[in-house]
Amino acid sequence: MQAFPLESIQNVYDRVLTDSPFYQAKYQGRKVGELKSYDDFLDLPFTEKDDLRHAYPLGLSAVPEEKIIRIHSSSGTTGTPVIIPYSQKDVDDWATIFARCYETCGVTNKDRVQVTPGYGLWTAGIGFQAGAEKLGAMVIPMGPGNTEKQLKMMVDL
């Protein structure tokens, strides 16, 4: 691995060992600072979807509950939903990531973005909206459905 990706992985590893009860239990017996190489990384136990489901409801938190400002979740279609608690930094980072995606596609503050994915517990709708707003684009937060109104808004705006 290149130095930068390994350093990033080391930082995340050390953070979850310090702040995440979920990973403290999963990585029991391991210590902060011991991830030194790609081979050390490959030796870590793999996290599977069932591991995440067993952390329901807030077992994936890596911050105190009073720092959780938003909850997102998987659908739960194939089992217990996976709840992802977001801190303010997570929300801000998510908007920045979405804004970068828009910028990569050439969207600017002179554009209009009609957001058609659903809102609610799924993270997409609000992510599309927050990223476009961060970029300064005009946002039309439609959500799914109502085809006639969708088309009218597209034409009129």
The overall pTM is greater than 0.75: yes
Q: pLDDT digit string (tens) for 28-54?
A: 999 999 999 989 999 999 999 999 999
Q: pLDDT digit string (tens) for 17-30?
A: 999 999 999 999 99
Please give the average per-residue pLDDT across 85-98, as a whole number. 96
User: What is d(CA 3, CA 105) in angstroms, rounded to the nearest whole number?
Assistant: 29
**What percentage of the chain reaches a pLDDT higher than 70?**
97
Cβ burial of 37 (10 Å; 0-12, 13-18, 19+) is: exposed
Average model confidence (pLDDT) across the chain: 94
